[in-house]
Amino acid sequence: MNQKHSSDLSDRFSNQIHDLLNTNHVSGWCVAFSGGLDSRVLLDLLVASSSDLPVRILHVHHGISENADDWVEFCQTTAESYSGNIEAIIERVSVDIRGSFEENARKARYQVFESTLKPNEVLLMGHHLNDQAETFLQRLARGSGLTGLSGIPKKRALNQGLLFRPLIDESREDLKSYAQRRNLHWVEDESNAFEAYDRNYLRHQILPTFIARWPRFLNSVSRSVKVISQDAENLAYYRDQWLDQYRSLEALDLNALSELPESEQCGLLSHWVRRRSGYSLSNEQLRVLLNEVIHSPQDAKAVLRVGEFEYRRFQNRLYLVPSRQHLDLSHWRCSIKLEENCSGELFLPDGSHLIFEPAVSGQRITHSQIEVCYRKGGEHFRPVGHSQSKDLKKWFQEQAIPPWQRSNIPLLYSNQTLLAVADLAFDQLCVCEDDRLGWKVVWHR
Ligand SMILES: Nc1ncnc2c1ncn2[C@@H]1O[C@H](COP(=O)(O)OP(=O)(O)OP(=O)(O)O)[C@@H](O)[C@H]1O
């Protein structure tokens, strides 16, 4: 590659950095630094792009390779070579060796990225066009749908900041020429030669064959991925609109779903599951969900457990709930003494919490000594606006609260009188006409 190509790469890179700065509030850069060619070039381009914001490099030590400590040292000396202006962060993780090591290492890495990123900081990753083509082929080999074939996105939200991959349209060959011209050093991960990993097999055996036959293959993949991801985004937009229209984000309205053509029912179901849980269902799981839950003749028996979640049906709506919602809480109780004019907070055993905020109007409790427990059966209360007291079970039925949620809703008592059902309903007792000081209840789930 000649000097011109190299400066084109620098120009394209700085344009992207400046575009990002013009459209986002950025507090600093954090380079995901493996020490390999791509992240080494990334760091060099970033420093040269002369943004005045602080730069950190973050290396994840997987503790597997016998050379891992040398890579740590390489990261530290690279950071020091920039006259102390770059902070190097080394995070050690232990990777689960059960299942796919590649996948577990990747998950562990992304967890570190998420937890390390500061508010409005941008995590820069060195993925390039060859990574894009390998990912595309790997997903094709697995039979992925539109979402999978959309490839590696250039930009996405990551926890409190952003993840950005400015090299995603650059070939590895161009990055290598840049590194050689700039006299950069980098480390080679010996596991990259290990062809038992699909990724490496594609890199060494398949991709070169495609490129030899179609020299512009990488660009073609880049074009396909852009078209597919645009279509996937549009489809997601229409599916979101449908979910909004039927207020189906919390629970999927199965009556409305059944009006759609069968193929779209599956598409919408997959989209809803991804939105709710972040997971994708396999075709087999989708089939079981349709046959055993959605088309089950009885609501109550319709339960499917997949990983950490359960699919349940109630009143022809489909719910996706974390399995932890089925803790036995019937014997748990706790009390809290509220101080006048002060907020109070109570953590509950299922990870949710109650907040008590001082209030002089609206529905509020006015007793300062509160007992919190869960349903045992036989509870009564008189909801605001009702003249007679009501069986709690009946009230749950009227409000269409699914049966599996009922035993997980905290009940607030004072002197054995049920004052409030979390923040969902208050007893008539709590409504005072005067402006007596009390506490508004908020239940954070
Ligand atoms: N150990 C590591 N520590 C920090 N960053 C890393 C590490 N390994 C990889 N990265 C980041 O990931 C980028 C891509 O590297 P590689 O292709 O090996 O990653 P990957 O995470 O397996 O890819 P994918 O995210 O597509 O699964 C690197 O350029 C670098 O930014």
Q: How far is the CA of 197 from the centre of ligand 1 (A)?
A: 15
- Do 307 and 337 lie in a common domain? no
Task: Decide if pLDDT at 278 tops 90.
Answer: no
Residue type, 31: V
Residue 234 lies in a domain: no
Three-class DSSP category at 331: coil
Check if 132 has its Cβ closer than 6 Å to any atom of ligand 1.
no
The rounded Å distance from CA 106 to ligand 1 centre is 8
Q: How far is ligand 1, taken at its centre, from the CA of residue 238, in Å?
A: 33
Indicate the residue type of 253.
D
Cβ(39) – ligand 1 distance below 6 Å: yes
Residue 98 confidence class, pLDDT cut points 50, 70, 90: confident
Using a pLDDT cut of 70, give the percent of the chain over it: 96
Task: Tell me what pLDDT residue 325 has.
Answer: 56
Q: How many angstroms does the Cα of residue 60 sit away from the middle of ligand 1?
A: 9
How far lies 119's CA from each of 43, 72, 157, 167, 342, in Å?
Answer: 21, 26, 11, 23, 29
How many Cβ atoms are within 10 Å of 19's Cβ, its own excluded?
Answer: 11
Exposed e or buried b for every residue in 268-302, given b needs 16+ CB within 10 A?
A: bbbbbbeebbeeebeeebbebbeeebbeeeeeeeb
Q: Residue 1's pLDDT is what?
A: 47
Residues 209 and 296 in one domain: no
CA 168 to chain centre: 22
Burial class (CB in 10 A: 0-12, 13-18, 19+), 348: buried
Averaged pLDDT, 165-179 = 97
Query: Span 418-430, mean pLDDT?
Result: 90
The pLDDT value given to residue 59: 97
User: What does 44-106 look like in DSSP terms, one character per residue?
Assistant: HHHHHTT--S-EEEEEEE-S-STTHHHHHHHHHHHHHTTTT-EEEEEEE-----SS-HHHHHH
Which CATH number belongs to the domain containing residue 120 in this structure? 3.40.50.620
Per-residue pLDDT at 34 exceeds 70: yes
Last residue of one domain, picked from the residues 206, 224, 242: 224
Query: Which residue owns the Cα nearest ligand 1 atom 29?
Result: 126
Give the residue from 70, 21, 83 showing the smallest Cα distance to 49: 21
For residues 263 and 293, state if they share a domain: yes
Report pLDDT digits (tens) over 144-161.
889 899 999 999 999 999
Count of alpha carbons within 13 angstroms of residue 310, beta-carbon side? 14
Q: Are residues 367 and 306 in the same domain?
A: no
Ligand 1 neighbour 313 (Cβ under 6 A): no
Could you report the per-residue pLDDT of 60-89, keeping only the tens digit for each?
998 877 888 889 999 999 999 988 789 999
What secondary structure letter does DSSP report for 338?
P
Instruction: Kindly state whether residues 343 and 299 are assigned to the same domain.
Output: no
Instruction: Among 325, 349, 376, identify where a domain stops.
Output: 325
What is the pLDDT confidence band of residue 436, given thresholds at 50, 70 and 90?
confident
| Number of domains within the chain | 3
Cα dihedral 195, 199, 205, 208, rounded to 10, equals: -150
Structural domain contains residue 292: yes
425 forms beta bridges with 421
Same-domain status, 356 and 277: no
Annotate 80-105 with b (16+ C-beta within 10 A) or e (fewer): eeeeeebebeeeebebeeeeeeeebb
Closest CA to 402 of 350, 308, 309, 326: 326
User: Residue 5 pLDDT > 80, yes or no?
Assistant: no
- Pair 152, 64 in one domain: yes
Q: 123 has which bridge partners?
A: 30, 163
- How confident is the model over 212-236, as a mean pLDDT? 96
Residue 390 has pLDDT above 70, yes or no: yes
pLDDT at 295: 84
Task: Mark whether 314 and 386 lie in a shared domain.
Answer: no
Instruction: Take atom 22 of ligand 1 and give the residue whose Cα is closest.
Output: 106
For residue 273, the domain's CATH number is 1.20.59.20
Which pLDDT band holds residue 58 (cuts at 50, 70, 90)? very high
For ligand 1, say whether the CB of 251 is within 6 Å of any of its atoms.
no
- Given a contact cutoff of 8 angstroms between Cβ atoms, the answer to whether 304 and 289 are in contact is yes
262 and 365 both lie in a single domain = no
ipTM of the complex, rounded to two decimals? 0.93
Looking at 177, 199, 224, the residue that finishes a domain is 224
Asked if residue 302 and residue 194 are part of one domain, the reply reads no
Q: State the sign of the Cα–Cα–Cα–Cα dihedral 162, 165, 187, 78.
A: negative
The parent domain of residue 291 ranges over 258-325
Q: Is 134 in the pocket of ligand 1 (CB under 6 A)?
A: no
172 lines ligand 1 (CB under 6 A): no
Q: How much of the chain is in helix, strand and coil states, percent to nearest 5?
A: 45, 20, 35
User: Measuring from atom 14 of ligand 1, which residue has the nearest CA?
Assistant: 127
C-alpha–C-alpha distance, residues 143 and 314, integer Å: 33
Cβ atoms of 344 and 369 closer than 8 Å: no
- Would the CB of 202 count as within 6 Å of ligand 1? no
Residue 313 counted as domain residue: yes
Quick check: is 245 in a domain? no
- Give domain status of residue 48, yes or no: yes
Enumerate the known binding-site residues for ATP. 34-39
Mean predicted lDDT score pLDDT of the chain: 90
Length, in residues, of the chain: 445
136 shares a domain with 26: yes
Residue 236 falls within a domain, yes or no?
no
CA distances from 251 to 246, 247, 307, 318 (A): 10, 8, 19, 5
Residue 414 lies in a domain: yes
Considering the domain architecture, whether residues 215 and 311 belong to the same structural domain is answered as no
Enter the tokens of residue 348.
Answer: 């509950």
Cα–Cα dist 259/256, whole Å: 5
Q: 127 in ligand 1 pocket by Cβ < 6 Å?
A: yes
In a domain, 42, yes or no: yes
d(CA 297, CA 274): 26
